[in-house]
């Protein structure tokens, strides 16, 4: 019974890690799969917590007991990872295309979403490092026949264990694979997201600069007109003419435009992020919020 529980937990952990890494590849999956997949990963993580609820209660009861240092570290990692997933879910729903919420600071919410995702992935890699021996031993039991062919052990006694003990080299090799996959997901999968964030910041700065540009342009134009006006001739007769009444004119202020994607693709789009809720044949991510 316990072996079956361990195998089920192993498969759940594999789906969680694979799905979380895949969520970083937004250009590959598309926005729809990214949103539904992210929601599924968060629900599966909550189910994973419920399966280990007895362990959580046990650790809370003897949190400050002697000899429970490693368990405390694992508990704290799981706690921060839980908060990270909750923050990802909350900010993801706020910026999702399902609700189209009129956020006053969309860029801030998206930045928090990205930072929470990267931090949670780093914590997840650390959690896997703490449980790497269990991961490898359970993987051997699941793929027992394949491992027996790849790592044959000649035994003369039936009491000899069927598998070699897990060596540190195997753990380091597996950690290298997990770390490389996670780093690749952050660097390559999140590259377009970071570029979009930078372009969004530059767009906001340009709009802020445009607010003061009309005043500067008006002042420059007035000085240019004053310089180009020919001086009055000294022989001309001075005549009293009414001065024109100056009327204040209001200068339009450019509104702030926040763009979630700098590509502004038209139908059918150049990537799988294309979404058109208002049916204007333009990607909603490239339009102002």
Q: Which domain holds residue 280?
A: 195-208+255-289
| Confidence (pTM) | 0.63
% residues pLDDT > 90 (the chain): 21
Q: What is the pLDDT of residue 209?
A: 46
Same domain, residue pair 203 and 115:
no
User: Please, are residues 163 and 140 in contact by the beta-carbon 8 Å criterion?
Assistant: yes
Could you identify the residue written with the tokens 């729809």? 32
> Do 123 and 260 fall within a single domain?
no
Number of domains in the chain: 2
Average pLDDT over every residue of 278-289: 78
pLDDT tens-place string over residues 95-118: 888 888 888 888 898 889 999 999
pLDDT level of residue 87 (50, 70, 90 thresholds): very high
- Would you say residue 20 has pLDDT above 80? yes
- 28-54 pLDDT, tens digit per residue, is 888 889 999 999 999 999 999 999 898
For residues 183 and 260, membership in a common domain is answered with: no
Cα–Cα distance measured from residue 277 to residue 281, given in angstroms and rounded to the nearest whole number: 9
**DSSP string for residues in 17-30:** HHHHHHHT-HHHH-
What pLDDT sits at residue 219?
Answer: 45
Out of 64-78, 114-128, 243-257, give the one with best mean pLDDT: 114-128
Same structural domain for residues 12 and 84?
Answer: yes
Phi-psi region of 67 (alpha: psi -120 to 50; beta: other; left: phi over 0): left
Which residue's structure tokens are 């009444």? Answer: 245
């Amino acid at each position: 019974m316990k072996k079956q529980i361990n195998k089920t937990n192993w498969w759940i952990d594999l789906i969680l890690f694979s799905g979380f890494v895949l969520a970083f590849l937004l250009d590959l999956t598309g926005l729809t799969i990214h949103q539904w997949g992210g929601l599924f990963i968060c629900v599966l993580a909550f189910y994973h917590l419920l399966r280990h609820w007895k362990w959580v209660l046990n650790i809370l009861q003897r949190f400050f007991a002697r000899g429970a240092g490693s368990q405390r570290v694992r508990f704290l990692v799981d706690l921060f990872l839980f908060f990270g997933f909750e923050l990802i879910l909350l900010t993801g729903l706020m910026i999702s295309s399902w609700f189209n919420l009129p956020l006053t600071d969309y860029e801030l919410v998206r930045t928090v979403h990205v930072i929470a995702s990267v931090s949670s992935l780093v914590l997840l890699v650390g959690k896997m490092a703490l449980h790497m021996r269990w991961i490898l031993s359970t993987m051997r039991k699941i793929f027992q026949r394949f491992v027996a062919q790849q790592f044959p052990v000649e035994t003369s006694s039936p009491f000899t264990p069927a598998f070699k003990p897990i060596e540190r080299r195997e753990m380091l090799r597996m950690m290298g694979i997990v770390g490389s996959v996670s780093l690749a997901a952050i660097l390559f999968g999140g590259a377009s997201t970071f570029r979009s964030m930078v372009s969004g910041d530059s767009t906001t700065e340009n709009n802020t600069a445009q607010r003061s540009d009309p005043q500067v342009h008006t002042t420059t134009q007035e000085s240019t007109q004053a310089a180009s006006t020919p001086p009055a001739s000294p022989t001309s007769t001075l005549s009293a003419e009414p001065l024109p009444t100056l009327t204040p004119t209001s200068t339009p202020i450019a509104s702030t435009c926040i763009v979630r994607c700098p590509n502004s693709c038209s139908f059918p789009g150049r990537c799988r992020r294309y979404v058109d809720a208002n049916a204007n044949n333009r990607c909603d991510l490239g339009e102002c919020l």
